[in-house]
Structure 1
Amino acid sequence: MSEENTTTVGEQTEKRETATQDNGEVMQHEAENGSTKQLSEYYNYEELHSRPYITPDSEIPENLLHLCHSFGYDSGRRGNLQLLDDNTLIFIAGNLLVLLDVSTKEQRYLRSCSGGGIGTIKAHPSKECFAVAEKGIQPNIIMYEYPSLRPFCILRGGTERAYCFVDFNQDGSLLASVGADPDYMLTLWDWRREEVMLRCKAISQEVYRVSFSPYNPGLLTSSGSGHIKFWKMADTYTGLKLQGLMGNFGKTAATDIKGYVDLPDGKVVSGSDWGNLLLWEGNAIKVEICRKGGGKCHAGMVQPFALEEGQLMTIGYDGVVRGWDFESIDTADSTGDSGRFELEPMNELLVGHNVCLSSVVKSSQPSDSFICFAQDTSGAIWKLDLSFTYTTPDPECLFTFHAGAIQGLDVSRISHLMATTTLDRTVKVFDFLAKRELTSSRFNQGGTALSWAPTLVNQIGSLLVTGFEDGVVRLLELYDPQRLNVVTGRIPKGDAKLRLKQAFKPHRAPVTAVAYERNGEILATGSSDSTVFFFTVGEKYKPIGFVRVPGPVQALEWTPHSHGENRLLILCQSGHVVEVHPPDPEVQRPGITFHLPELSSRAFRFRSIKSRIKREQEIARRQAAKDEKQKEREERLKESKQPDLEPEEDEEEVEEELPSIFIPKPPSPLYCGFYSSPGHFWLSMGGYDSGFLYHCQFSEEQDQDPLQRQDEPFDFLPVLNADDDPIRSFTFSSDRQLLLCGMHSGSIRVYPLQPGDHSLSSMQAYWALSVHDNQYGHLRHIRCSYDDLLVLTAGDDGNFFSFSLLPPEELKKGMQRKKANVPSPRVGLENEALAQDIEDPAACSIESEKQKLDKDRLRREAELKIAAKRKKLAELNKKFQQLLITNQSLPEHVRLKPEVRTPGSLSSVF
């Protein structure tokens, strides 16, 4: 790479800040003179939005990865849905703003300018522009024109770290913004002039929302965690001020308030956690509104969102939209001492079961005055017609997504197919080349792990192994239903289907990892219950047994073919690493348990060396400083040309104490790791020990209890700019010349490596791109496609993206005739009965079932013994009675008579 195209993070940031500062001055001048000149004319807009970070003096191409598609939707983010026109929705996906065409499903993107992420968004009432409020250090609010997407206004200095909400007033002339922790600053902007009108601290806790009253431009309301606050812009003798009154809940329990609506007379109706509405007058609750008989307005959280046609509209976490009579609410008063007013809704619309509505945006077109788009935190976007007439169409689910963190992701080894699972209980399969979802299956428990079976196990690439939070593992077959031999007249639907092939329950806690042995003969499953279970691979998977490990399992990795012996590396979240020999699947192990204590193993327990590294670095730095001073002194003596001159005595410097040796308690979590050579492995740690990759090996002394071990790495590799940003996931390209890392901050790093570099000595320069949310988008999954042309990432923010290693034009040209091949169904699949599933989360695990069966066997054996003894006693008793009868029939002089013996002596039978 040429020197002029190579910049550090700091240089890029400084360049951008300088550019935006310069542009701010020009824009201020232009705004005062009524000019509409665009911001992009003052600096390189393309660089601002697309340039990644590259380490200096590297040969890495400037644009290594090219964004292809966003498959996710952070549906749990508050207010993450805006409408720009009839067909264009916008929402935040990690560090991107996605513009989604409802009709064509095409996407356009805007990247976070700061790289720190996007806090919140808001469309202008005119829909001619929209605000993007960012996150980061001293983040900006950037105004973009629509549909050109050109930035034309920047608002600076409104908060320290992130914006949590912004809103325009009724005519769009003013903008209100609220900052997040630590300042929670409320700011009113004359945004066209880029000027702050008023500002003050909103409160000292999280704020969810702020808005202007549509009826009185001098009034505002804000709400959030356990509070609501009422504001007015007041003229005082020192000028215009913001004055706020905290809402007083009185006898009503305090609640988080996520939604409210201003009424024309100054009252406010807010929602509550428990499902009823609160009518505020002044800063006090006038009345709590419920349904007749004390029923709740909604089941769970309720949010008012609009006042339309004499109705107050509310949404709830119960998936229902209700319309309430405005006049009745406005004049509501409590009866008796209950403080409640009973009211039934005028209209009601059930959007769907398992639907959780959190925000609604309304169409601004008069012809579509009743059309709304709703955000569903269960992972969907809905189109609603709220006309409440007999001809009203049913709610339409426009898009479905995963809800919550992506727990498992893997790709097919032979096609451009991707599978994902989350705690929303779904497993989805995508054609990531065609950018579309192919199929989705729902289960009764959330998914926690996923692996696509290698071709050694399944040649056509149709088998998925999925782990769930109740400890169940399911084998799922993917097939093309169009190729089934079906009864004439029955046309299969869909491009792909998932079918349950087998279900078994090896664990009593969530499955955290699944991995096939390199020869495809054994499947290993790991769990947070600190066990690893082994199964034989075949038409039916059969349990071999399990081993216990010192901590919850984080990851499993089998040795590659380049290693001589076959081993399984078990990485535990607690920092323990265990290597075990795989069990022999041919050996029969009769017994009362599946436990395999005989398996040969060795253990390693990570002990922190970071403080010692820092100490040695500080010693080296001080020594280098001393050497530099000594060199300068000697040079001064030479320049003085007085060799007989006595050397200057240094003033005694008091050195600071060296950093002390520190061992974190509790130990740092282990995030990921991989083999480097037989018996050697790399670890990436979180917490205090982040910032390095640690090279470790198993000690020869393995007699010590694994829980009590203390093992130190024998080498380490500093990871630049990662002191608080550890590597959470990794993958290699097929030729191992690219190491792709998913970072805790949600960014991607790509390190070029020299061939055969298992010591990672060439892991120096890197290319990085911030793509997932910087605060909670920890990038836990990163994969390359089977042909190394595309990269897939998935994070805890619920977003997952595809990237191309080729420029978009070349990828489109090379792939335009290609499509992902969904495997054909097995012969006779349509005639097979469905596999039996495990639907009860309290079902016994394989080990518990074996223990139970053994107990049942012992109980049956005991019952048989008891029955046999009872039978014998009955026979003896019968003989005894016969003897008694015989004895009685004898003459008296020969008849035996009963005797009483002393205790402890043998007594007569009579």
Structure 2
Amino acid sequence: MEKEDICDPSLEKCSAIYENILEFQYSFGYNTQKYFNMCVADKCTIIFGSGNLIHIYNIEKGERRFHRTLTGGGIGHITKNPLFEHIAVADNGYEPMVVIYNWPSMDVISVLRGGTTKSYSFMSYSPDGEMLCVQGGDPDFLLTIWDWRNAVILRQQRSHVNDVYNIVFSPYSPQMMCTGGWKHINFWKIAKTFSGLKLMKKPGRFGKREASNVIGILPLPDGQVISGCEWGNMLLWNDGVIKMELCGLNGQPCHEAPISQLLLEGKELFSVGRDGMINTWYFEEIENADPQEENKLEMRPYRSFRIGSEINKSSLVAIAKQHQHDSDDNNWFAQDANGRLWKVNLSQVNDLPAEEILLAHAGVVVAIAASPHHSLLASLDHSGRLLVHDYSKKNLVAHAEFSSNGSSINWLPLSSL
């Protein structure tokens, strides 16, 4: 199947308009508020979804190219195979499909059907790149493991009764994985039997603590798991129960907002927060911890990176390394739910601020107005951000931030002098 098989716009049988009445030219969109809507295809290319378009953004040239989804529906998630040059795109819509493309040609490698009824929320490849685990959304919440080469479902079962935000395989024990979402975390073991794969689930028990949404999840080498929580601390899980809560000094939270991502780079633990902070912790402190009363461990981050500023505050939902297979590289991309894409160097000796590489709307666009005299288009979102694009040159020419929520805009006519 070649890339020209990507679907065209569809019309109802009773429609009175022509199929080609409108022709797509360009998209300035980016759904920055969707968790993990950022796939690093190579060192200079980021792929993300907006509507039913796959955006392929070259950060060096500042150029975008586009692919419509195979089914014409929206996009649930985009991810890259850890070993093969493949990009997986999970569509949304009626009986959506997962499509695996070759990178960079975007030729279709495989099409996976039957994973969910309406939508997908997340995907994750096994560490060896051979299996693809895909999480469905409402109403079935099915967790499906595919042999993507042969488009065969190896195992499928209901994951949870509410939204699942994240799936993480353990790189140390590939038969183990975790899922987290609305007020829950689940721990899974994958077993091979004579009849196929078997999935064994152990729900996480919060005990005396309030049940929390779980987004950031990090499996550890010893089989334990660290997760984030809504109040900004980290939870250390062992065999499905909370062994220890990790917090800042004097009982302060690790972050002033929920933790969206956790990463382990050597002996450095990175926590990414919706407060716009990336904190770095000594992992050995956790390994050697002897928790005090209430099973809490107070720690101090030895390095903190604030993305954005007091004026342009960020809310981080994902980071990804620019050179994914280079352990010495410290350049990362950061997805900001407040409508920005950043490039940041997380080196210990770096004091340079993050570089803004893309600006988009933060949330729902509430109003659009076109200039009566020039090829300019103004758009306003609910957060109060005004963007003005030159649609002939396909670039952003002006922007403004207002303290009040946006509601409407109007392009005033020029009076004659």
The TM-score range, normalised by the shorter chain, is: over 0.9
In the alignment, is the contact (CA less than 8 A) between 1:51 and 1:63 conserved in 2?
no
Aligned partner of 2:362 in structure 1 is: 403
Distance 1:321 1:427 in 2: 28
Out of 332, 335, 357, the residue aligned to residue 375 of structure 1 is 335
Out of 384, 394, 398, the residue aligned to residue 344 of structure 2 is 384
Q: Deviations for 1:204-243, whole angstroms, at most 9, x for unmatched residues? A: 1111111211110100100000000000013567653100
Distance 2:177 2:321 in 1: 21
In the alignment, is the contact (CA less than 8 A) between 1:117 and 1:136 conserved in 2?
yes
Aligned partner of 2:392 in structure 1 is: 433
Out of 101, 104, 111, the residue aligned to residue 61 of structure 2 is 104
Aligned partner of 1:357 in structure 2 is: 316
SS at match of 1:293: helix
Aligned partner of 1:80 in structure 2 is: 37
In the alignment, is the contact (CA less than 8 A) between 2:168 and 2:217 conserved in 1?
no
Query: CA RMSD of the aligned region, Å?
Result: 1.9
Aligned partner of 1:66 in structure 2 is: 23
Distance 1:309 1:221 in 2: 21
Distance 1:319 1:57 in 2: 50
Q: Deviations for 1:684-726, whole angstroms, at most 9, x for unmatched residues? A: xxxxxxxxxxxxxxxxxxxxxxxxxxxxxxxxxxxxxxxxxxx
SS at match of 1:193: coil
Counterpart residue identity of residue 224, structure 1: G
Q: Deviations for 1:883-902, whole angstroms, at most 9, x for unmatched residues? A: xxxxxxxxxxxxxxxxxxxx
Q: State the aligned residue count.
A: 413
In the alignment, is the contact (CA less than 8 A) between 2:8 and 2:72 conserved in 1?
no
SS at match of 1:125: coil
- CA pair 393-59 structure 1, distance change in 2 beyond 3 A: same
Counterpart residue identity of residue 38, structure 2: L
User: Does 1:51 find its partner at 2:8?
Assistant: yes
Distance 2:265 2:255 in 1: 19
User: Does 1:177 find its partner at 2:137?
Assistant: no
Task: Tell me by how many angstroms 1:425 deviates.
Answer: 2.3
In the alignment, is the contact (CA less than 8 A) between 1:269 and 1:304 conserved in 2?
no
In the alignment, is the contact (CA less than 8 A) between 2:54 and 2:67 conserved in 1?
yes
- CA pair 289-55 structure 1, distance change in 2 beyond 3 A: closer
Distance 1:144 1:317 in 2: 31
Aligned partner of 1:464 in structure 2 is: none
Normalized per residue, the structure richer in strand is 2
Task: Tell me by how many angstroms 1:454 deviates.
Answer: 2.9
Alignment of 1:88-237 (within 5 A): 88-126=45-83, 128-235=85-192
SS at match of 2:26: strand
In the alignment, is the contact (CA less than 8 A) between 1:259 and 1:270 conserved in 2?
yes
- CA pair 406-239 structure 1, distance change in 2 beyond 3 A: closer
Distance 2:197 2:388 in 1: 57
In the alignment, is the contact (CA less than 8 A) between 1:315 and 1:321 conserved in 2?
yes
Alignment of 1:621-700 (within 5 A): none
Distance 1:115 1:64 in 2: 17
SS at match of 1:186: strand
In the alignment, is the contact (CA less than 8 A) between 2:261 and 2:318 conserved in 1?
no
- CA pair 271-55 structure 1, distance change in 2 beyond 3 A: closer
Distance 1:237 1:171 in 2: 22
Task: Tell me by how many angstroms 1:59 deviates.
Answer: 8.4
Out of 358, 372, 392, the residue aligned to residue 413 of structure 1 is 372
Q: Deviations for 1:235-271, whole angstroms, at most 9, x for unmatched residues? A: 5676531000000001111100011111111111100
Task: Tell me by how many angstroms 1:157 deviates.
Answer: 0.9
Counterpart residue identity of residue 375, structure 1: Q
Distance 1:162 1:423 in 2: 25
Distance 1:289 1:447 in 2: 39
Q: Deviations for 1:608-652, whole angstroms, at most 9, x for unmatched residues? A: xxxxxxxxxxxxxxxxxxxxxxxxxxxxxxxxxxxxxxxxxxxxx
Q: Deviations for 1:348-401, whole angstroms, at most 9, x for unmatched residues? A: 111123111011112314276221111000000011111221x45321111111
Counterpart residue identity of residue 383, structure 1: K
In the alignment, is the contact (CA less than 8 A) between 1:304 and 1:312 conserved in 2?
no
In the alignment, is the contact (CA less than 8 A) between 1:84 and 1:127 conserved in 2?
no
In the alignment, is the contact (CA less than 8 A) between 1:286 and 1:333 conserved in 2?
no
Task: Tell me by how many angstroms 1:287 deviates.
Answer: 0.6
SS at match of 1:70: coil
TM-score (norm 1): 0.44
Percent identity between the two aligned chains: 35
Structure 2: state its 5+ residue gaps. Answer: none
- CA pair 218-58 structure 1, distance change in 2 beyond 3 A: closer
In the alignment, is the contact (CA less than 8 A) between 2:37 and 2:49 conserved in 1?
yes
Distance 1:331 1:250 in 2: 24
Q: Deviations for 1:539-566, whole angstroms, at most 9, x for unmatched residues? A: xxxxxxxxxxxxxxxxxxxxxxxxxxxx
Alignment of 1:558-569 (within 5 A): none
In the alignment, is the contact (CA less than 8 A) between 1:85 and 1:127 conserved in 2?
no
In the alignment, is the contact (CA less than 8 A) between 1:277 and 1:288 conserved in 2?
yes
- CA pair 269-59 structure 1, distance change in 2 beyond 3 A: closer
TM-score (norm 2): 0.94
Task: Tell me by how many angstroms 1:56 deviates.
Answer: 5.1
Aligned partner of 2:326 in structure 1 is: 366
Task: Tell me by how many angstroms 1:77 deviates.
Answer: 0.9
Counterpart residue identity of residue 408, structure 1: A
Distance 2:25 2:86 in 1: 25
Q: Deviations for 1:284-303, whole angstroms, at most 9, x for unmatched residues? A: 00011001100110111113
Counterpart residue identity of residue 307, structure 1: L
SS at match of 1:447: coil
In the alignment, is the contact (CA less than 8 A) between 2:164 and 2:181 conserved in 1?
yes
Task: Tell me by how many angstroms 1:198 deviates.
Answer: 1.6
In the alignment, is the contact (CA less than 8 A) between 2:101 and 2:107 conserved in 1?
yes
In the alignment, is the contact (CA less than 8 A) between 1:144 and 1:152 conserved in 2?
yes
Task: Tell me by how many angstroms 1:172 deviates.
Answer: 0.9
In the alignment, is the contact (CA less than 8 A) between 2:215 and 2:261 conserved in 1?
no
Q: Deviations for 1:176-227, whole angstroms, at most 9, x for unmatched residues? A: 1111011111111111121111221111111111121111010010000000
Aligned partner of 2:409 in structure 1 is: 450
Out of 332, 348, 360, the residue aligned to residue 304 of structure 2 is 348
In the alignment, is the contact (CA less than 8 A) between 1:320 and 1:352 conserved in 2?
no
User: Does 1:311 find its partner at 2:262?
Assistant: no
In the alignment, is the contact (CA less than 8 A) between 2:9 and 2:72 conserved in 1?
no
Task: Tell me by how many angstroms 1:404 deviates.
Answer: 0.7
Counterpart residue identity of residue 168, structure 2: S
In the alignment, is the contact (CA less than 8 A) between 1:178 and 1:186 conserved in 2?
yes
Counterpart residue identity of residue 348, structure 2: F
- CA pair 409-287 structure 1, distance change in 2 beyond 3 A: same
Task: Tell me by how many angstroms 1:55 deviates.
Answer: 5.0
